[in-house]
Structure 1
Amino acid sequence: MNIAKMIDHSLLRPELTSDDVRRGCEIAARRQVASVCVRPSDVEVATIALTGTGVLVGTVAGFPHGDTRTTIKAAETRALVDAGADEIDMVLHIGRLRDGDTGYVHDDIAAVVAAARGRIVKVILENAYLTDEQKILGCRIAEQAGAHFVKTSTGFAPGGATLADIQLMRAAVSPHVEVKAAGGVRTLDVLLTLHEAGATRFGATATETILDDYAARQHGEQPTTV
């Protein structure tokens, strides 16, 4: 099992400097994770830092609230792809989903998928604000709109990924749509539990802790205590 290639190393905190982002990219390259997920203004920095490493550059659109106009989300996505982004994690319009305005939510996601021009699009539901029925609806709309992943959380809401949500989301979409867990994935045990439930990608800041723990267990050492 290649745990590293399930991790999107998260570099989204607002206080990060450009040097912090470069150091995060160094970690991502050294540990050979799937991608980094950086703020939109850091895409060029990450693209330069990760050239030739095999680590993808991911970023966010409509982040973290999902309430920017669809035209702005689409324009942001086009600019991010032009800057070198390989993957886009977009926040759907949470309020419109809660309204039951399925047409708006669908078209909002579809516009980003089109603007991404074939790049991977992950749709963040922000489950902390949704009922189970709304989570299921959001997942199904995301699939219909062409998304490649559905994702639990931004990491900036009151709650993050839970086992129940991963199970619910996995059941709500077709096998070709993947599930990303984000928010609170800080230990190997949490990652493995959510992977068993169906998550295939994980947003994490504790990347090195998780991977060091996995390496230790592979060598028969005692797991770390977190």
Structure 2
Amino acid sequence: MNKYDNLASIIDYTLLDPTATKEDIKKFCEETIEHGFKTVFVNPYYISYAHSLLSPHGIKVGAPIGFSLGGATTHVKVEETKEAIENGAEEIDMLINLGALKSGEYDVVKKDIVEVVKVSKGLTTKVIIETALLTDDEKVIATELIKEAGADFVKTATGFNGGGATVEDVKFLRKVAGNNIGVKAAGGVKTYEDAMNIIAAGATRLGASSAVAIINGENSKVNY
């Protein structure tokens, strides 16, 4: 066992590029097996294919729900979640309804999460809040709603809407979350040093497209 094995076990390796081809997904899955990652995230269209390649190796495929803006209706997010699970998804990362949050419609935000958690039927659920787009007060409210809705993690960002995981935001979210839920840091985690700093700040899961570079202790310019 090398010193990166434990790190690989908490990284969600991601390939969410909108132009990713089937061949790209195949190579991505081969890298996942080679390096020992436990969970990957691909766009919904590729969940079934990735699952077919990775399930024999005990590797989970996760689904991004409401990606990457969060503005879909609850009904759409629920149906997307159901189909993803039918296709083999075993973890769910949903994007919070940012417009409703900014409008102060907190019941809508909470119900959105509750309904996705309900149809996930015990699978690990993470809720993306896009920290770069929120005030500190909104980060607190969002995290509290996530806890109340029964999700398992608050997640910093998609990496597609500006900003990403920072040490400061992870510390802040960990303080608000307490020990009740996990904190997933995603967006901008590109190097081994980034990963170590983020974990020290309180993250219990990382999301990165640069996962191979991270565990190899290499620098990378690849975006999440």
| 1:43 and 1:57 in contact (8 A); partners too | yes
Match of 2:203 in 1: 199
Matched, 1:88 2:120: no
* 1:1-226 equivalence runs, <5 A: 2-213=6-217, 224=218
Which segment is superposed worse, 81-90 or 174-183?
A: 174-183
| In 1, Cα distance between equivalents of 2:143 and 2:101 | 11
The DSSP-based 3-state class of the residue aligned with 1:185 is coil
CA RMSD of aligned residues (A): 1.1
Preserved contact between residue 127 and residue 152 of structure 1 (Cα < 8 Å):
yes
Q: Distance in 2 between matches of 1:12 and 1:151?
A: 16
Does the residue aligned with 2:57 lie in a helix, a strand or coil? coil
Q: How many equivalent pairs are there?
A: 216
Given the two structures, how large is their TM-score scaled by the length of structure 2?
A: 0.94
- Cα shift readout 1:23-62 (whole Å, capped 9, x = no counterpart): 1111111111121111011110110010221221111110
Gaps of 5+ in 2: none
Deviation of 1:85 (Å): 0.3
* Residue identity opposite 2:142 in structure 1: G
Q: Which runs of 5+ in 1 are unaligned?
A: 214-223
Residues 32, 54 of structure 1: 8 Å contact kept: no
Percent identity between matched residues is 38
Distance of 1:42 and 1:125 partners within structure 2: 24
Residues 149, 178 of structure 1: 8 Å contact kept? yes
Question: Residues 118-170 of structure 1, C-alpha deviation per residue, up to 9 Å, x if partnerless?
Answer: 11110000111100110111011011101001100011011000111101111
